[in-house]
Structure 1
Amino acid sequence: MNVSVSQGEGGSAVPVAGERVTVATSVGDARVTWARAKRPRLVLALGHGAGGGIEARDLVALAEVLPAGGVSVALVEQPWRVAGKKVAPAPKTLDTGWRAVWPELTRAGLPVVAGGRSAGARVVCRTGYELGARGVLALSFPLHPPGRPERSRAEELLGTGLPTLVVQGGRDPFGRPEEFPAGSHGLAEVAYGDHGFAVPKKAPVTQEEALGVITDTVGAWLERLPAD
Structure 2
Amino acid sequence: MSGKSVRIKLDEHKSLSGLLLMPKGAIACYVLAHGAGAGMGHPFLEAVADGLAARQIATLRYQFPSMEGGSKRPDKPEVAHKAVRAAVQAAAALAPSVPLFAGGKSFGGRMTSQAQAETPLPNVAGLILIGFPLHPQGKPALDRAEHLEQVNISMLFLQGSRDALASLPLITKVTNNLGKLAKLKIVEHADHSFHVPVKSGTTDSQVMSEILDLMARFVSAQSP
1:83 offset after TM fit, Å? Answer: 1.5
**CA 1:22–1:135 in 2, change beyond 3 Å: closer, same or farther?**
same
- Structure 1 equivalent of residue 207 of structure 2: 210
**CA 1:58–1:189 in 2, change beyond 3 Å: closer, same or farther?**
farther
- Identity percentage over the alignment? 27
Matched, 1:91 2:77: yes
Secondary structure, counterpart of 2:120 in structure 1: helix
- Structure 1 equivalent of residue 143 of structure 2: 152
Matched, 1:161 2:152: yes
Matched, 1:103 2:93: no
Comparing 18-27 with 169-178, greater Cα deviation is found at 18-27
- Structure 1 equivalent of residue 194 of structure 2: 197
Deviation string for 1:74-105 (max 9, x for gaps)? 11211211211121121111111221222211
Task: Tell me which of 25, 29, 41 is aligned to 2:10.
Answer: 25
Alpha-carbon distance in structure 2 between the residues aligned to 1:150 and 1:65? 33
Alpha-carbon distance in structure 2 between the residues aligned to 1:177 and 1:160? 21
The amino acid of 1:211's aligned partner reads M
**Contact between 1:193 and 1:199, CA under 8 Å: does it hold in 2?**
yes
- Structure 1 equivalent of residue 64 of structure 2: 78
**Contact between 1:28 and 1:80, CA under 8 Å: does it hold in 2?**
no
Q: Give the aligned length.
A: 212
1:41 offset after TM fit, Å? Answer: 2.1
- Structure 2 equivalent of residue 125 of structure 1: 113
- Structure 2 equivalent of residue 62 of structure 1: 48
1:28 offset after TM fit, Å? Answer: 4.1
Alpha-carbon distance in structure 2 between the residues aligned to 1:149 and 1:161? 25
Deviation string for 1:163-198 (max 9, x for gaps)? 100001111111033321212300011111111111
Matched, 1:43 2:33: no
Matched, 1:186 2:186: no
The amino acid of 1:212's aligned partner reads S
CA RMSD of aligned residues (A): 1.8
Query: 1 or 2, which has the higher helix percentage?
Result: 2
**CA 1:145–1:120 in 2, change beyond 3 Å: closer, same or farther?**
same
Alpha-carbon distance in structure 2 between the residues aligned to 1:63 and 1:47? 11
Alpha-carbon distance in structure 2 between the residues aligned to 1:226 and 1:156? 24
Unpaired runs of 5+ residues, structure 1, are 1-15
- Structure 1 equivalent of residue 20 of structure 2: 34
Unpaired runs of 5+ residues, structure 2, are none
The amino acid of 1:192's aligned partner reads H
Matched, 1:177 2:168: yes
Alpha-carbon distance in structure 2 between the residues aligned to 1:126 and 1:194? 23
